[in-house]
Amino acid sequence: MEAAARQRLDKWLFFARVVKSRSLAAKLVQAGRVRVNRDKADQASHMVKPGDVLTVTLDRRILVLKVLGGGARRGPAEEARTLYEDLTPPAAPRDKALPDALPPYREAGSGRPTKKERRETDRLRDEE
């Protein structure tokens, strides 16, 4: 591999549209939420090359991305998708475990009063 094929990790994350800004990419790497080939990347200046597999932990998602090339700019999403291959396993289906579950039931009169009930209560207090 030649040196031109390598790129800083924070720049690559920004160009691939994984994060919104390069400074956020640097913070993500420094927080230890990015792994390169199963090794934790501790610096934003870590160089990535085609063939590397990145594991990125975002809020509620874990992305597994294979680097296909380095980017020259932060272009449109179609251009960004050419920089990586998404190896992320599909998410487990939610709420499929209880298909026959009933919606929560609350007895009438429990909880906060309705507007009509509140007016009736106010009328009773005013008459006294």
Domain ranges of the chain: 3-86
What integer pLDDT is reported at residue 128 of this predicted model? Answer: 63
- CATH number at 3-86: 3.10.290.10
What integer pLDDT is reported at residue 8 of this predicted model? Answer: 96
User: pTM (2 decimals)?
Assistant: 0.70
Query: How does pLDDT run across 45-98, given as a tens digit for each residue?
Result: 999 999 999 999 998 889 999 999 999 999 999 999 999 999 999 877 766 555
What integer pLDDT is reported at residue 92 of this predicted model? Answer: 72
Q: Which token pair is 15? A: 């160009």
Q: Which token pair is 10? A: 């924070």
Taking Cα atoms as reference points, which of 39, 42, 67, 41 lies closest to residue 53?
67
